[in-house]
Amino acid sequence: MYKLSLTLLAIILAFKCISADIPTRLLNNGQKIPIVGLGAGHVTEESVRSALEVGYRHIDTSLNYGDSEIIIGKVLKEVLKDGKIKRQDLYIVSKLETEYHTRSRVPEGIKKSLQRLDLDYLDLYLIHSPDSQPANITVGETWLGMIDVLKANLTRSIGVSNFNQKQLDEVIAKGVVPVTNQVICNPYVNERKLLAYADSHNVTLTAYSPVGGRAYPDLLKDPKLIEIGNKYKVSSAQVALRFEIQRGVIAIPNSQNPKYIKENIDVFGFKLTDEDIKAIEALNKKDS
């Protein structure tokens, strides 16, 4: 039977909503993050507007996602000016890229993203990938730069992306624990061990490609996910997303299709059973 730690279960039961009945996860610094967000690797003005209209408030982007930050910034400027959405209702995430990994250049990286987004601060800033770390710079040094921008109030939270346990240990040793580790995570690569490790350190896990993405393009055709979806009259994508949510994992599916954008956030009207969870866990294709 699938079991949650008492701490994680308490967090899930304590979910509160920011907008459109989207639950939030409580982060280790007391901030809250909507548990479902829009992965904005590829966006258009129309897709960002569509997401905001159906209730998304959490948007995840990066400096190297083409013009994503610029597009998001343009739409946010419009909706904030209209007054229908307030800045405090939004949760905007961006990432530090390789050329800014020296401690002294981290502020430069985040300020460039803020300029493109036309914002005064981010809600969360992540080191995008330790694998692209310059040979002469440790992730620990980069993390000190992240702490600098946190103290400068350029972001309300800091975290990492694509980090393994050893790399997480290195940044945790610097005295500020990342609020999240964003990794590829879905029923085919469920990151069970990394999730347990993160939970033990009060670090959330954020799943990119939670419905497969380019790495697992056939995930949504999986017979078991379809079977479970038919039982609840939902899609296989909604089953995959619900699987993450019930494990306390934050999910940021990416879509430009208004139908799927809406579908991806409509995952709170059903609940997977322990048997469902066990069956989905059995789909794992990675020793994780």
| CATH number of the domain to which 69 belongs | 3.20.20.100
**Percent with pLDDT over 90 in the chain:** 88
What tokens were used for 196? 């347990």
- The total of other beta-carbon atoms located within 10 Å of residue 82's CB is 8
Buried b (16+ CB within 10 A) or exposed e, 246-275: bbbbbbbbbbeeeebbbbbbbbbebebeee
| pLDDT value for 286 | 83
Catalytic one of 65, 91, 208, 216: 65
Would residue 287 count as lying in a domain? no
Q: What is the mean pLDDT of residues 114-122?
A: 98
pLDDT in tens, 196-220: 999 999 999 999 999 999 999 999 9
Number of domain units in the chain:
1
Q: Which domain holds residue 217?
A: 6-281
**pTM for the complete prediction?**
0.91
216 given a catalytic annotation: no
Q: Cα separation of 24 and 204, whole Å?
A: 12
The answer to whether the beta carbons of residues 250 and 204 sit under 8 Å apart is yes
Is residue 149 a part of any domain in this protein?
yes
Under a CB-based contact definition with an 8 Å cutoff, are residues 186 and 207 in contact?
Answer: yes
Query: What is the predicted pLDDT for the residue at 11?
Result: 39
| Least confident among 1-15, 236-250, 274-288 | 1-15
Q: Is residue 1 part of a domain?
A: no
* Residue 257 is assigned to a structural domain of this protein: yes
Report the DSSP pairing between strands 32-34 and 24-26: antiparallel
Q: What is the mean pLDDT of residues 268-288?
A: 94
State both tokens at 63. 């400096």
SS3 208: strand
pLDDT at 48 exceeding the cut of 60: yes
- What is the rounded average pLDDT for all residues in the chain? 92
| pLDDT above 70: percentage of residues in the chain | 93
Q: Which of 16-25, 80-89, 125-134, 212-221 has the lowest mean pLDDT?
A: 16-25
Task: Inform me whether the pLDDT recorded for 74 exceeds 60.
Answer: yes
114: buried, middle or exposed (CB in 10 Å: 19+, 13-18, 0-12)?
buried
Residue 288 lies in a domain: no
8 Å CB contact between 14 and 35: no
Q: Could you tell me the two tokens for 279?
A: 């069956």
Cα–Cα distances in angstroms (integers) from residue 80 to residues 49, 112, 180, in the given order:
12, 20, 27
**286 within a domain of the structure (yes/no):** no
- Please enumerate in sequence order all residues whose Cβ is within 8 A of that of 19, keeping only pairs 6 or more positions apart, or say none: 34, 55, 57, 89
Taking only the tens place, the pLDDT of each residue in 130-165 is: 977 777 899 999 999 999 999 999 999 999 999 999
Whether residue 258 is contained in a domain is answered as yes
Taking a C-beta distance cutoff of 8 angstroms, is the pair 75, 49 a contact? Answer: yes
200 within some domain: yes
pLDDT per residue as tens digits for the range 243-266: 999 999 999 999 999 999 999 999
How much is the pLDDT for 287?
74
Supply the pLDDT for residue 288. 57
